[in-house]
Amino acid sequence: MHMADALLSPAVGTTIWAGTLAAMGYASKKMKENFDDKIIPLMGVLGAFIFAAQMINFTIPGTGSSGHLGGGMILAIMLGPYAAFLVMASVLTVQALFFADGGLLALGCNIWNLGIYPCFLVYPLIYKPLVGDSRSPRRILVASLVSVVAALQLGAFSVVVETLWSGKSELSFGTFVLLMQPIHLAIGIVEGFVTAGVINYVRNARPEILESITASRPLGAEISVRKVMITFVVLAVVTGGALSWFASTHPDGLEWSIEKVTGTSELPTQEHGIAPVLKGIQEKTAFLPDYNFSPASTEEKKKEESASWPVIEAGTSVAGIVGSAIVLGMVMLIGLVIRSFKRRHT
């Protein structure tokens, strides 16, 4: 499921875009290290392939409804993590631009959800260890199933986290999760079968093709300890973000005990001495005071929430509606005038 701009807040969108851009830069750098020119047309054409494949629907057995391929896992298995990530990123970019499938700001989130998880997490940590060096179709099937399901679950869960973090939807965490995860479980199972099927098919029909891709794959496209470490950092950030959502707003242990002892939840501030100076410096440099984004934005949020309530005053809300109608009319008028102006002059 592709994230939409309208459900995203600027803070979440830019944060994840930053992560995605960093990942794209990193993947490009790694690929340039041992570069075979041949990989560029291969990547581009495989991207177009994923695109075309996504347009072909298949019927899900038993339900009669149709589904279509995601493709991240197939790419990761065929091309290795770095190339697959870049290809997936470009497929999603074209989808966002030409098919309005997910917005431009949400593109960062979509590339993260549908690219990072299959290529950088699931492929090195789940698929490769499960498959090892074996060529048995059954091994590949099991590995594909587990990998695809895991990747899709992570992606779906991220959509939930991103939407909730943005605060534009009223859906509670529980409801949203119950909506997203089972659907993607079903999709994942089917796609797992398809992925394994394609790999086995290609291996049977033209095994040398897979060998030649692996040969032109840049060296160092396999996992390293560093990669696993980075993975765990990523996981920590994601879980930290999600779990902090649930962090109790009750005062934590220390503040609670202080409150019990002195009657206030914070120690009284010193008026003189070095402490106030340091406190001043800390206030100015604290990037995330109280574990929120800077006070400016929380103030803004509070102001916005209270600013949305003046609409309750009947006077301004009528003015709002009247103003909206007028502005809408003006916009349409401008549009029609320009249109007829153009028609007359061509």
Q: Which stretch binds another protein (CB under 8 A): 53-61, 122-130, 221-229, 286-294?
A: 53-61
139 counts as binding another protein under rule CB under 8 A: no
Residue 245: name the closest of 158, 164, 299 by CA. 164
79: Cβ contacts below 8 Å, ≥ 6 apart: 42, 43, 46, 87, 213, 217
Asked if 294 is part of the footprint of another protein (rule: CB under 8 A), the reply reads: no
Binding mask 104-123 for another protein (x = CB under 8 A): xx------------------
Residues 54-73 that bind another protein (CB under 8 A): 55-59, 61, 66, 69
Other Cβ atoms less than 10 A from the Cβ of 205: the count is 8
Taking CB under 8 A as the binding criterion, the range among 41-49, 121-129, 241-249, 287-295 that sits at the site for another protein is: 41-49
According to the binding rule CB under 8 A, does residue 100 interact with another protein? Answer: yes
Q: The tokens of 189 are what?
A: 């199972």
- Regarding 5 and contact with another protein (CB under 8 A), the answer is yes
Q: Which of the 8 DSSP states describes residue 312?
A: G
Q: Binders of another protein: how many residues, by CB under 8 A?
A: 103
Tell me if 22 contacts another protein by CB under 8 A.
no
CA distances from 113 to 171, 196, 321 (A): 20, 21, 39
What's the full length of the chain, in residues? 346
**Distance, CA of 128 to CA of 122 (rounded, Å):** 9
Using CA atoms, how far apart are residues 255 and 244, in angstroms rounded to an integer?
18
Residue 327 near another protein by CB under 8 A: yes
Comparing CB distances to another protein, the nearer of 254 and 334 is 334
Q: Least CB distance from residue 56 to another protein, whole Å?
A: 6
Task: Pick the piece of the chain touching another protein (CB under 8 A) from 120-128, 199-207, 224-232, 255-263.
Answer: 199-207
Residue 199 to residue 136: CA distance in whole angstroms: 11
- Mark the segment that binds another protein (CB under 8 A) among 24-32, 134-142, 231-239, 271-279: 24-32
